[in-house]
Amino acid sequence: MLDCSERLAWLAGRLLADLGAAVTKLEAPRADVSSVEWRALNVNKRLRRLDFAEPAGRRALDELAASADILIATPHPGAGDAEIFDHRRLARINPRLIVVAVTPFGLTGPKAGWLVSDIEIMAAGGAMSLAGEPDGAPMRVSATQSYAWAGAQAAVGALTALAARARTGRGQLVDVSAQAAVITAIAHAPAFVDILGIVPTRAGAYMTGRSVTGARFRVFWPCRDGHVNFILYGGGAGRRTNEQLVAWMRERNVDLGPLAAIDWARFDPTGSTQDQIDAMEAPIAKFFSSISKREFLEQAHRREMLGYPVSNVADIATDPQLEARGFWQDIAGPGGRSERHCGAFVIVDGVRPPLVPTADEPDRALPKVAT
């Protein structure tokens, strides 16, 4: 597999490499490959330097494409690289080649040539309109997400085309839109418009829409070293969680306030007023402020409560669950120094496929162009 992609689709090749594909990452001679983003998403690939601006580089690409199964690129519609990665041109060299073109909006359409980055793609896919304070500005996730959504969909598309090739013997074009990929992230929110004419908006740190009185329910609670995510649910799941929370608070001799008198089997948040919710949440807020994120994680698990701490990367890096499953993979990075990467995303037949370091591909004779 040839990975000619820019940042927009790096994850696609990484996902396929994690499952055993032999992926060669093609980069321009002076392209920077030292950033953590590059290393994290191009691990498990072979690195080869080719200059597509030069005829020799383009010839070399065509020779590699002649024997490849999949080529992933991020062409810019209307620019020179669109011709280099044109599927019809490459199909003449290798009719079995699957060409995956990942672009912000797809290869055709009125916005195909638009200039965008992560924030504009998250905006175009609707995700920003659903994140942030209700009366504040739309928010993006501070770490780039739309490129990962595009890359993940590209990997699905590449393998879907591979399944088709097994039957037809022919490759084809996989046209991936990052904008459309982001719509995947927003669940069924568009269905509210479609079915009821209601436009969902951002809810900030609270959950709304669960009470006929319009009461809002706290989702994020300050704790001793950050925040936890906890919601007063109703129903069977909420009953267990709420009962266990109260039991936990009793063990700590915490003042339960109105929580002490509630029959959780009958608690129904749909009829609760804001005053009632505020009164219930006050002792919970006081209790949570006294515990740590890790304590919440361990107790919530032990008591089968719904809810999780709001982790940062340091919390995630020390999570025993990930350690036990061998998620982290230590491999050699620049200068031979060991680096800890996210491992392959799936355990296959009981084994997590191991990563291998990104390596410069040895200079070797290029394969002959198929005729």
Partner 1 sequence: MSAGVQALAGINVVEFGGYAAGPHIGKMLANFGAMVVHVESMGRPDGFRLQYPPYKDNKPGINAGGCFAFFNDSKFGVTLDLKKPEGIVLARRLTDWCDIVIENMRPGVMERLGLGYESLRTTNPDLIMLSTCNMGQTGPRADTPGFGSQLSALAGMCGLTGERDGPPMLLYGPYIDFIASTLGAVAVLAALEKRRRTGAGTLLDISQYECGLLFLAGPLLDYHVNGKIAERCGNDDPVAAPHGVWSCRDGGWLALSCWTDAEFARLCAVLGKPELSADPRVATAAGRKSHRALLDAAITDWSRPRDAEKAAEILQGAGVHAHVVETMADLFADPQLEARRQWRRRPHPVIGNQAYLMPAFDLSETPGEITCAAPTLGGDNEKVFRELLGLTEREYADYRAQKVFD
Residues numbered 23-52 forming contacts with partner 1, rule: CB under 8 A: 35-37, 39-41
Torsion 353-358-364-367 (CA) sign:
positive
Quote the CA–CA distance of 4 and 101 in Å, as a whole number: 10
The 115-144 site mask, x for binding partner 1 (CB under 8 A), equals: xxxxxxxxxxxxxxxxxxx---xxxxxxxx
DSSP-derived letter for residue 25 is E
Structure tokens at 241: 């969680």
5 is a contact residue toward partner 1 (CB under 8 A): no
Strand ranges, E, within 88-132 = 98-103
Among 52, 85, 149, 287, binds partner 1 (CB under 8 A): 149
Q: How far is the CB of 351 from partner 1 (least distance, A)?
A: 10
Quote the CA–CA distance of 87 and 94 in Å, as a whole number: 10
Among 183, 279, 282, 285, binds partner 1 (CB under 8 A): 183
The sheet carrying 220-223 orders its strands as: 220-223, 226-229, 308-309
- Kindly tell me which of 63 and 295 has the beta carbon lying closer to partner 1: 295
Among 68, 72, 90, 219, binds partner 1 (CB under 8 A): 219
Quote the CA–CA distance of 355 and 345 in Å, as a whole number: 11
Distance of CA 45 to the CA centre of its chain: 20
- Kindly tell me which of 22 and 237 has the beta carbon lying closer to partner 1: 237
Q: Which of residues 306-365 bind partner 1 (CB under 8 A)?
A: 306-314, 316-317, 320-322, 324-325, 327-328, 333, 339-343, 345-350
Q: How far is the CB of 131 from partner 1 (least distance, A)?
A: 5
Among 28, 53, 79, 187, binds partner 1 (CB under 8 A): 187
Which conformational region is residue 209 in: left (phi greater than 0), alpha (psi within -120 to 50 degrees), or beta?
left
Among 155, 215, 245, 284, binds partner 1 (CB under 8 A): 155
97 is a contact residue toward partner 1 (CB under 8 A): no
Question: How far is residue 248 from each of residues 264, 273, 284, 339, measured CA to CA in Å?
Answer: 15, 25, 11, 40
Question: How far is residue 92 from each of residues 3, 177, 368, measured CA to CA in Å?
Answer: 19, 25, 15
Burial 27-37 (b: 16+ CB within 10 A, else e): beeeeeeeeee
Stretch that binds partner 1, among 56-64, 105-113, 244-252, 264-272 (CB under 8 A): 105-113
265 is a contact residue toward partner 1 (CB under 8 A): no
Among 87, 259, 277, 291, binds partner 1 (CB under 8 A): 87
- Kindly tell me which of 254 and 306 has the beta carbon lying closer to partner 1: 306
- Kindly tell me which of 183 and 369 has the beta carbon lying closer to partner 1: 183
- Kindly tell me which of 56 and 348 has the beta carbon lying closer to partner 1: 348
Q: How far is the CB of 156 from partner 1 (least distance, A)?
A: 5
Quote the CA–CA distance of 238 and 231 in Å, as a whole number: 8
